[in-house]
Structure 1
Amino acid sequence: MKKSKLAYEVQKIEKEVEFIRRYFHQYPELSNEENKTSAFIQEKLRQFEIPFETGYATHGVLGIIHGKSSGKTVALRADMDALPIQELVDHAYRSTYKNKMHACGHDAHMAMLLGVGYVLQQLRHEFNGTVLLVFQPAEEDAPEGGAQRLMDEGIFSEYVPDVIYGQHVWPDLPVGQIGVRNKEMMGASDRFEITLTGVGGHASMPHQTTDVMVTLGHVITSLQTIVSRSLDPLEASVVTISKITGGEAANIIANKVKAEGSIRTYEPSIRARLKERFFTITKQIAEAFEVKADIMYQDGYPATINTPKWASLARETANGLKLDTPEINPSLAGEDFSRFLESYPGAFIWLGAQLDETNKQAPLHDARFQINERALPIGTSFLAQLAIDTLHAFEKES
């Protein structure tokens, strides 16, 4: 198939993709609340005459595009949910809901996947096989997420992906660049809560207490030694205490304090070792200070590890579209797409979406986050071409 045909179809849908992205941005919905979002996706799939199934993980939608004859199956995934953030950017399509915002680009992901669906539906006689459009709810609902629930509820029971791809707008990359690695792309993301309980009392009489604040100070400092002294220094990992709750007044030694945070890793063995040391250090320090330690530890998303074969093909597709594919470092941010990659081969890809005025670029999950909409037709073209290239690659192997 000539790439000019694909470019022509992308050009036809380009303004519609922008409109869809802005609609989603104006009406964001949080994890497991994607009611109107799901309905709008279904409306567009009907308009594009793409068959679909619904009901997976309540709000999930599966679009199904059949090529001219049977063949392999490629799945393309977009996440649907927004974040509980009050948007601080003033533009015509800002969020209309209080404390709800698409601050992670999921609005763009859905819009581009609908655009991809339109393009591939027009070009379905140009390839063999099936392309699945997977609209996934609750990606931000860590540590559970929506990916595993989709699979548990049978979204792939009839059409089983031979390869699955996900694409994420990336504000650190300029428009026209594609970020992809043959191995790790994103980190494993675990969460914890430490509750220390001791004996409180008057601030002037610490000898009558077991001071949970002092204990917590030692715990926080000592937990940082896990990365620096218990793990391979060449393996990336992070232990972060992000929230502390406790105390009543300046003249009272508290009897309880709670600390919350997250742990980020790539390698499963490092993840296991870090968790082991986390429990040992916390418990032993609490015992030394005669304080009780209760730990809630949640194993979150696993690391997002690409399949080298399909990551390489993604790079070839990008280069074929004259897109740059610079060397990139992985991110320790968590991503629910990792659960798909535990079950199926595939790749997770970053789409350059940096603002032209880079000094105004805010990071993901920030109230001032924006994307460069010039990335939308690029992401649409890339993902559509990647699906076709993957199906052609399977044909060459057979």
Structure 2
Amino acid sequence: MKEQLTKIIQEIEPEMISIRRQLHQYPELSGEEVHTSKLIQDKLKNYDIPFQTGFAGTGVLGIIKGNHSGKTVALRADMDALPITEMNQHSYCSTKSGKMHACGHDAHTAMLLAAGYTLNKLKEDIQGTVLLVFQPSEENAPVGGAKQMLEDGLFAEYTPDVIYGQHVWPSLPSGQVGVRDYEMMGASDRFRVVVKGKGGHASMPQDTTDAIIISNQMIASLQTIVSRNINPLEAAVLTIGKIEGGYRYNVIADQVTFEGTVRTYSSQVKERVKERLYQIINQTAAAYDGETEIEYLDGYPATINTPKWAGQVRLTASELFGEEAVPEVQPVLAGEDFSRFLEKYPGAFIWLGTQIQNADEQKPLHDPQFKLDEKALPKGAALLTKTALDTLVQLAEEE
């Protein structure tokens, strides 16, 4: 099986790289993935893989039925790009100013198509059904595309017993695989606060309520939530990323707006941070005779892997690439829309190492100079394929 799988992956590899580069040249933002979706549909037709559409606008569901009855495994890739202007220099740079695949979703789509091609060639060995989920709008936090796909009946006809997602990971050496039991990525909430005071001349502060002073006290106090209200053994981050206010040097501001994000793993910790955020902001405003408006957006939940299926990924990756290719990794507090699938179905989210050869020049995800090592993509496609096959075998043995 391993030799046969490798042979098919080698066969599809040039087309997989070509697909990735084509998507990279013509990126589409969340909700705009029309041409990306059409390319996926055209490839599925060419591969003789049935599919359904109409999920979250541009989402696609490929369906591969094996020659043997059994359970169902889903594999998911996201499709959308980011509102970033690319600053690389290579032959397939983005042709669209202000749009770039700076998070590797072009590679995710290409790898899933290659995995679909391979699985379809191996249908006689498949015990059950494999679903190929091409998801739009992953970058559109806190709304995302996963929830809308589910609401649109993504799994109405075929319900997965297990689901997997994979993400390129530039901090891992090329071809290595990162997967954890339980926490993999964090919940990603965001908030916006408008602080209202009373403006006036800088020389007559007694006649004003300074919104900048109030905001300053709020922002400083908000940093005590993690250090004084959360157990040090729990993870939480509260960051203020943007602040706007004031008119000129000699005017006391009547309004300030600041925005930030809250990242957690535990739902209990999240609710505690949220509770204290409201208390601090409202009570500080009252103490300084100001007013506030708070907009808190609950974002993606934490990405929590099912230990059993994370273990299956480790086993499959070790068999394919060797145990040294599956190092222990720490979770991160970045958000991921795949979490909404894992809330409903058991499964695991996987990191695929794509670090470029000169690691010192590697830029992180969401950077305008982000690059990845395309030599890792065949390994990613092989891992998705073999993990789906191995999982179906495991599910069959449990019946």
> Which category of TM-score, normalised to the shorter sequence, fits these structures?
over 0.9
Q: Which runs of 4+ in 1 moved over 6 A?
A: none
Equivalence for 1:84: 83
Instruction: Say yes or no: does 1:355 pair with 2:356.
Output: yes
Deviations 1:355-376 (A, max 9, x none): 1101110011111111111110
Q: Does the 8 A contact of 2:175 with 2:380 survive in 1?
A: no
Offset, 1:69:
2.1
Identity %: 58
Amino acid in structure 2 at the alignment position of 1:355: I
Supply the distance in 1 between the matched residues of 2:206 and 2:397 (Cα, whole angstroms): 77
CA separation in 1, counterparts of 2:377 and 2:175?
Answer: 10
For the residue of structure 2 that corresponds to 1:331, the secondary structure is coil
Equivalence for 1:9: 8
TM-score normalised by L of structure 1? 0.99
Structure 2 residue 251 is the aligned partner of structure 1 residue 233? no
Match of 1:43 in 2: 42
- Counterpart of 1:218 in structure 2 is 217
CA deviations 1:243-268 (Å, max 9, x no partner) are: 11111111111100100011000001
Tell me the distance in 2 between the aligned counterparts of 1:248 and 1:121.
63
Q: Secondary structure at the match of 2:342?
A: helix
Letter of the structure 2 residue corresponding to residue 20 of structure 1: I
Letter in 2 for 1:232: N
Give the secondary structure class of the aligned counterpart of 1:77: strand
The AA in structure 2 aligned to 1:392 is V
Is residue 341 from structure 1 mapped to residue 342 from structure 2 by the alignment?
yes
1:236 CA displacement: 1.0
In structure 2, C-alpha distance between the alignment counterparts of 1:310 and 1:114, rounded to whole Å: 22
Alpha-carbon shift at residue 322 of structure 1 (Å): 2.0
Q: Deviations over 1:56-113 (max 9, x none)?
A: 1110000000101221000000001000000000110000001000000000000000
Q: State how many pairs are aligned.
A: 397
Query: What's the CA shift for 1:170?
Result: 0.2
Give, as a single letter, the amino acid of the residue that structure 2 aligns with 1:144. V
Q: Does 1:394 align with 2:395?
A: yes
Look up the match of 2:71. 72
1:21 aligns with 2:20: yes
* Alpha-carbon shift at residue 327 of structure 1 (Å): 1.0
Deviations along 1:250-293, one digit per CA (max 9) or x if unpaired, are: 11111001000110000010001010000001111111111101
Quick one: distance in 2 between partners of 1:303 and 1:170? 18
Deviation at 1:316, TM superposition (A): 0.2
What aligned pairs does 1:308-319 form with structure 2 within 5 A after superposition? 308-319=307-318
Residue 376 in structure 1 maps to residue 369 in structure 2: no
Q: Distance in 1 between matches of 2:57 and 2:227?
A: 43
Whether the 8 Å CA contact 2:355–2:362 is kept in 1: the answer is: yes
How far the C-alpha of 1:176 sits from its partner, in A, is 2.3
State the secondary structure of the residue aligned to 2:68. coil
Task: State the match for 2:386 in structure 1.
Answer: 385
Separation (CA, whole Å) in 1 of partners of 2:175 and 2:37: 30
Please tell me the residue identity of whatever aligns with 2:261.
S
